[in-house]
Amino acid sequence: MRLLVTGGAGFIGSNFIHYIFNRYPDYQITNFDALTYAGNLNNLIDIQDNVNYTFVKGDIADRHAVDMVFAEGDFDCVVNFAAESHVDRSISQPDIFVRTNVLGVQTLLDAAKKFKISKFVQISTDEVYGSLGATGLFSETMPLSPNSPYSASKAGGDMLVRAYYETFQMPVCITRCSNNYGPYHFPEKLIPLMIINALHDQSLPVYGDGLNIRDWLYVEDHCAAIDLVLHKGIAGEVYNIGGNNEQTNIAIVQDILHQLGKPQSLIQFVKDRPGHDRRYAIDASKIRKELGWIPKYEFNTGISTTIQWYLDNKPWWEEIINGSYQQYYTKQY
């Protein structure tokens, strides 16, 4: 198998490359990534010199660069993780989200069509469904109802993937997963931000009343689900992925403080995120029944493992927070 992974230097993409690398030692993996602020080659330092792994720096919205990598790679399959992924940044700078998450997807689809790729997996998000009330779950048949520029741009990408299936019969699948957590999670996101601030005895900024709910999944379980979709997913199908693990933000923050032995007084309620979705919760029965996916990690184990990873990998996140990320953080909070 010759596999193109786009956005493989980010959080989930780098976990996925490690997952595939360990599980299928004969696969040739090419990682095509623009190395935006979120892309980090340190995530893959352990395999960077392996003959089965190649890194190519490039932008998925750059048609010439995309065509070049496809022409050289002779790929069988593509998994697209490349995206602008942070909701707060999409509120202050929506244009780059449309460029990467819509135009970038279309550019990749054109190349996948031209080079006759046998499977294209688009990594999407549960946020395209919008926000839930107190009850109910997101199912694959629900209408898309995105509320942030981020989720709207991801929904645009999904619509193009769907259209290329209907119009050109391309062998595509879409996955829509809930919130991931685990190693290599960029420090701007809730869980790593709270761990790192707590370790520095800095305040922990909780948006609004802290009662927004997310359905958390350990990143390795997400990677296992994508592996199944890549190898067994039916063309044209959408697969929701989620661990049936709803948590309020405040409960997560309190737990992190407790596990690190830090005082709850570090919590600071701050201005809410505009358009803040109240609740996400996934119905993952389709991927469980049709592809046999079973998540392995309980939240208690996953969150302790994650906290320990941040304690053990200080140089990884110190390099990030001491760089240009600091300017973003100062402006944001």
Catalytic residues, which ones?
126-127, 150
Considering beta carbons, is residue 280 or 297 the nearer one to ligand DAU?
280
Classify 171 as helix, strand or coil: coil
The answer to whether 192 contacts ligand NAD (rule: CB under 6 A) is no
Classify 123 as helix, strand or coil: strand
Cα dist from 21 to 14, 201, 228, 267, whole Å = 10, 38, 15, 40
Q: Which stretch binds ligand DAU (CB under 6 A): 123-131, 219-227, 305-313, 323-331?
A: 123-131
Are 155 and 144 in contact by the 8 Å Cβ rule? The answer is yes
Are 11 and 180 in contact by the 8 Å Cβ rule? The answer is yes
Among 15, 30, 40, 85, binds ligand DAU (CB under 6 A): 85
Considering beta carbons, is residue 106 or 179 the nearer one to ligand DAU?
179
Among 3, 4, 44, 61, binds ligand NAD (CB under 6 A): 61
- Residues of this chain, 191-220, that bind ligand DAU according to CB under 6 A: 193, 205-207, 212, 214
Among 83, 87, 155, 172, binds ligand NAD (CB under 6 A): 83
Q: Which stretch binds ligand DAU (CB under 6 A): 82-90, 111-119, 135-143, 225-233?
A: 82-90
Q: DSSP string of 21-51?
A: HHH-TT-EEEEEE---TT--GGGGTTTTT-T
- Give 61's contacts (C-beta < 8 A, 6+ positions apart): 99, 100, 103, 104, 107
**Which option in ligand DAU, ligand NAD, none does residue 39 bind, with CB closer than 5 to 8 A by kind?**
ligand NAD
Are 257 and 203 in contact by the 8 Å Cβ rule? The answer is no
The answer to whether 7 contacts ligand NAD (rule: CB under 6 A) is yes
Residues of this chain that interact with ligand NAD (CB under 6 A) are 6-7, 9-13, 33-36, 38-39, 59-61, 81-85, 100, 104, 123, 125, 154, 177, 179-180, 186
